[in-house]
Amino acid sequence: MRGRRLPLLHGWHLGGHEPELRALWRRADPPHPSGERRPPDGGAARKADRRGFRVRGRRRAARRYDDGPPQSIVVLSLLAFLLSAPTQGSTVQASLVSTSTEREPAVTTLSTTDLEELYRRLGHRFRRPELLQQALTHKSFAHESESSEHNESMEFLGDAILGFLVTDFIYRDFPTLTEGRKSKIKAYLVSASTLSLLAIGLEIPQFLLLGKGEEKTGGRKKKALSANALEAVVAAIYLDSNVDEARRFLESLYAPLIDDVREGRAVVEDPKTALQEFLQARSLEPAQYLVTAESGPEHRKTFQIELKVGPRKLGEATGTSKKRAELDAAQAALARLIEEEG
C-alpha cells in the first residue's frame, strides 16, 4: 500500500482484520500499468508514447484499470465487514458513537459513588462510563450545559434493541401462542408504562441529569423520561460490550414480568380495546385521542397524545409513534377509571 492509509478507517480498531481490509481496498485502487496510482493525464500519456507505450495497449490497460469496483462501494463493503466481525464489532460500534474519547479522557458528571451504585443495580460494570452518563442525560441538561451529548440518539437505538430482544424472548418462551397473542404480550412488555415501572425499580430516575426547568416541572416523575432513559441504558450496555450482554441484562429485568404473563397474572390485552369495552359497558362516550404536540425531525418524531372521554381528560402519553402514545394513554386512562371504581 506504499504507506497509504485506509480512508475513513484511520484510528479505528481493526484488530486481526487489517490484512483482509487492505486487500479489499487494493481491489478498488489497483496500480496502473504505468506504475501510477491513477491513469496518466494527456501530457503523461505523450511521454509514455515516447517511451514506447502503444496507444492501443494503454487503452486496454485503462479499461482493465476501470474494471475495478468503485471505491465508494468498497468503502461500504469495508464498513459492513467491520460491523459484522464477531469479535471487533462492539469496539467499532462504540467508535461510531463517539471517537473523541479516544483522543482525550472523558469527563463524567456522575460521581464515582453514583456510578458504582448504578453498576451494582444494572449488573454491568462499564468500561466506558461516559456511555452510561450520556444515557442518563436529558436534552434539557445538555442544552443548559452547552453539551451535545444527550440520550435521544441512544434512546432511538435502545428502542430497536429492546424491541428485537423482547420479541425473541416471546418467540422462545411462548412458542404455541398465536401471532396476535404474541403481539399483545410484546405491546405490554415494551409499553412506556411497563418501561417506566422497570426504570423506577432500578431507581434510574434519581440518577437522571435534568435541566433546571425540567427539574422544576417534576421531570423525575414523568413516565416518558424514565422509559426513555431505560431504553438509552440498554443502548449504552450494548455499545459498551455487545448484544449478548444487553440480552443478559434484559432477561434478568424482564424475568418476573414474563412469569406473570405465563401464569396469567398480567393483563396483556390491547389497552385501547379494553378501554373501549369498559366505556361501552358503562354507557359512556367513546374515547377521543388528540395529538397535542409533535417534536423532533421527520424521521424520528415524538408525539404527545391526550385522551378524553367527553369533556374529561383521562390520560396523556408521549411516544415515538402515534400508535404507541395512544396505547400508553389508553392504559393510563383505564388504570385511572378502575382505581376510581374500586
**Would 74 be classed as within a structural domain?**
yes
**Would 2 be classed as within a structural domain?**
no
**Would 251 be classed as within a structural domain?**
yes
Q: How far apart are CA 294 and CA 302, in angstroms?
A: 6
* One domain for residues 138 and 247: yes
* One domain for residues 53 and 182: no
* One domain for residues 174 and 246: yes
Q: Is 328 a catalytic residue?
A: no
pLDDT band at 264 (very low <50, low <70, confident <90, very high): confident
User: What is the per-residue pLDDT across 317-329, written as a single tens digit (0 to 9) for each?
Assistant: 988 889 889 988 9
* One domain for residues 79 and 142: no
Confidence (pLDDT) at 251 = 97
pLDDT band at 91 (very low <50, low <70, confident <90, very high): very low
* One domain for residues 156 and 251: yes
Domain boundary among 197, 232, 262: 262
* One domain for residues 82 and 208: no
Q: What is the CATH number of the domain that holds 125?
A: 1.10.1520.10
User: Minimal CA–CA distance to 239: which of 168, 151, 167, 301?
Assistant: 151
* One domain for residues 164 and 236: yes
Confidence (pLDDT) at 23 = 62
pLDDT band at 250 (very low <50, low <70, confident <90, very high): very high
* One domain for residues 245 and 284: no
Confidence (pLDDT) at 43 = 52
pLDDT band at 102 (very low <50, low <70, confident <90, very high): very low
Catalytic residue among 130, 155, 159, 316: 159
Confidence (pLDDT) at 192 = 86
Confidence (pLDDT) at 150 = 92
More reliable by pLDDT, 63 or 292 = 292
**Would 143 be classed as within a structural domain?**
yes
Confidence (pLDDT) at 29 = 54
User: What is the per-residue pLDDT across 23-52, written as a single tens digit (0 to 9) for each?
Assistant: 655 655 555 555 555 544 555 545 545 455
* One domain for residues 108 and 253: yes
Q: How many of the other CB atoms lie within 10 Å of CB of 264?
A: 8
User: What is the per-residue pLDDT across 188-232, written as a single tens digit (0 to 9) for each?
Assistant: 899 888 999 999 999 999 999 999 999 998 889 888 899 999 999
Confidence (pLDDT) at 27 = 58
Cα torsion angle, 26, 27, 32, 33, sign = positive
- Quote the strand ranges of the chain, DSSP E: 287-295, 302-309, 312-319
Confidence (pLDDT) at 87 = 43
For residue 284, the enclosing domain spans: 271-341
Domain boundary among 262, 295, 312: 262
User: What is the per-residue pLDDT across 298-319, written as a single tens digit (0 to 9) for each?
Assistant: 888 889 999 999 999 999 998 8
* One domain for residues 57 and 113: no
* One domain for residues 314 and 327: yes
pLDDT band at 257 (very low <50, low <70, confident <90, very high): very high
Cα torsion angle, 177, 181, 187, 193, sign = negative
User: Minimal CA–CA distance to 149: which of 212, 79, 98, 92?
Assistant: 98
**Would 4 be classed as within a structural domain?**
no
How many helices, marked H, and strands, marked E, lie in the chain? 16, 3
Q: Domains in the chain: how many in total? A: 3
Confidence (pLDDT) at 277 = 84
Mean pLDDT of the region 81-108: 45
Q: Are 126 and 236 in contact (CB under 8 A)?
A: yes
Q: What is the CATH number of the domain that holds 303?
A: 3.30.160.20
pLDDT band at 342 (very low <50, low <70, confident <90, very high): low
* One domain for residues 252 and 113: yes
Tell whether pTM > 0.85. Answer: no
Catalytic residue among 149, 155, 231, 326: 231
User: What is the per-residue pLDDT across 165-193, written as a single tens digit (0 to 9) for each?
Assistant: 999 999 999 999 999 889 889 988 998 88
Average pLDDT, the chain: 78
Domain boundary among 237, 262, 287: 262
Q: Is 159 a catalytic residue?
A: yes
